[in-house]
Chain A
């Protein structure tokens, strides 16, 4: 309690220290000034590259991309507005992600709790683990055709590994003395798993889900780039085929935004479900 007050006091002291009379050197070292420099340089170089046509017609200026994004809100591509395409990709991500999570998380937990299950699953898992998910695209198309199942399959394959590994490690890295507490209080093996195993592994399982979700977006994009009639990957491909760099970049920006938004959703879900976690480690 006392420690909390001292830290706040220290913070105030720091703040007070920062309020000095204006000096150019201090201004140039200011964090916000440097942020502005960084972003202006980025957009400046981007505009310059477009203006000088170094990349030919392969790039669009930032303002053109923004205009394109606004036009996407009303225009349709292959009979769908941008929201239709966002939903098409999100739909695939959700299905693939749910299938992978509902198999991989319980399997990882079972592997951590039972060494026989571990001994049976582990060799096959280790064999397939280093395979990049995109290596499966050709197989997926051969097996499932170019429809929805092949895209979902890629996502399942890509998200399975981090889901399983994180739930496995989550259970494995639990402080063994926490189990001792349960045993001393008269609990049995079932109590050890329910009272310690699951809640202690929960943050790690959630970290796995979060990593999986961002991988799912990478997977859905690559699957859509190969073959699709809808989705954000399809929008990007259409832009490429029509030689419209503004459309390509607009598709990329929307994709990044949607992927970020879904990850944020998981972060808030975790905060809601694990109120005991300290909020110190953000980002």
Chain B
């Protein structure tokens, strides 16, 4: 096994089999190998039931792979930790905490003193554009705003890697476009290595430096990799954007 230190994340022959009800085996991922360079924005694109969320949870350390390894900076991932920030599809904000309370939780758990952690949290709340909503509770926010909190909460620990699991899957189309723009803007301001899971081809092309597409149904396996060499900020109607979109659509089962 080679460990290339240029690579932030290396997934090496990952297979995942879940055992349900004691005996039933569900084969979710089959032989996934990929690597992500430092500060690269990589999108994992796949239809439903292609194991892409499971792959992200394995990289997060919330699941262990049945075979294979995940390396972060050349070291094997053994469990969840603050060096990776995870953004959930269904937000997973704490309803009993305000926006500030949710965002400052990371530094709070690490024992950062109150004034200091408030300062860090404020910075990221500003970055995601929620400065006027620090004292609001999640149920007072719209879906897009909730996910902004989710993103700020993941960023606040200053993680090496950001992992986003279909973060805009529950938003309406307009809000979704806007949040994609915002994601690109935030990433330009605070560069990180990003792994972004989605089933939306346009979202993948709009955001990714590179798109790794998985093929379903279960078990999910590697399909194709696309380099997106388009200048940022990108336009959905650019000729090259549309060509790439056509190419990916042709090659995948997503259009069904």
Shortest B165–chain A CB gap in Å is 10
B92 with A185: CB separation less than 8 A = no
Task: Select one of A177, A182, A185, A199 contacting B96, CB under 8 A.
Answer: A199
Is residue B49 within 8 Å, beta carbon to beta carbon, of the partner chain? no
A4 and B82 alpha carbons, distance in the complex (Å): 36
Q: Kindly supply a per-residue 1/0 record for chain B positions 152-165, scoring 1 wherever the CB is within 8 Å of any chain A CB and 0 otherwise.
A: 01100100000000
Q: Nearest-CB distance from A92 to chain B (Å)? A: 34
Question: Interface digits, A272-283 against B, CB 8 Å rule (1 contact, 0 not)?
Answer: 001110100000
Name the distance in Å between B130's Cβ and chain A's nearest Cβ: 12
Complex alpha-carbon distance, A181 and B139, angstroms: 18
Binds A, one of B104-112, B205-213, B242-250: B104-112
User: Chain A contact residues: over half helix, strand or loop, or mixed?
Assistant: helix
Binary per-residue interface labels of chain A (1-33) against chain B in the complex, 1 for a CB within 8 Å, 0 otherwise: 111000000000000000000000000000000
- Residue among A185, A275, A278 having the largest count of chain B Cβ atoms under 10 Å: A185
Task: Select from chain A the residue with minimum beta-carbon distance to B88.
Answer: A177
Chain A 138-196 residues near chain B, CB threshold 8 A: 175, 177-178, 180-187, 191, 195-196
State which residues 251-283 of A face B: CB under 8 Å: 274-276, 278
| A87 on interface, CB distance cutoff 8 Å | no
Of A175, A186, A196, A276, the contact of B82 (CB 8 Å cutoff): A186
With a cutoff of 8 Å between Cβ atoms, the chain A residues found around residue B68 in the complex are none
Set A177, A184, A278: member contacting B85, Cβ < 8 A: A184
Query: A199 to B96, alpha carbons, bound, how many Å?
Result: 7
Judge whether A186 and B88 touch: CB under 8 Å: no
Q: Is the CB of B94 within 8 A of A184?
A: no
A178 touches B157 (CB 8 A): no
B12 at the interface (CB under 8 A from A): no
Instruction: Assess whether A186 is in contact with B95, with CB atoms less than 8 Å apart.
Output: no
A183, B96: Cβ atoms under 8 Å? no
Q: Write out the residue numbers on chain B whose beta carbons fall within 8 Å of the beta carbon of A1.
A: 142
Query: Is there contact, CB below 8 Å, between A177 and B106?
Result: no
In Å, the complex CA distance between A184 and B154 comes to 9
Contact mask for chain A residues 185-213; partner B; CB cutoff 8 A; 1 contact, 0 none: 11100010001100110100000000000
Cβ–Cβ contact A184 & B109, under 8 A:
no
Q: Besides A196-B94, A276-B97, 15 other CB < 8 A contacts?
A: A2-B142, A3-B142, A177-B92, A178-B94, A183-B80, A184-B60, A184-B62, A184-B81, A185-B105, A185-B157, A186-B106, A186-B110, A195-B105, A202-B96, A276-B137
Please report B residues at the A interface, Cβ cutoff 8 Å. Answer: 60, 62, 79-82, 84-86, 88, 90, 92, 94-97, 105-106, 109-110, 137-139, 142, 153-154, 157
Instruction: Name 7 A/B residue pairs within 8 A (Cβ), A-sorted.
Output: A178-B94, A180-B92, A183-B79, A183-B80, A185-B106, A185-B157, A199-B96
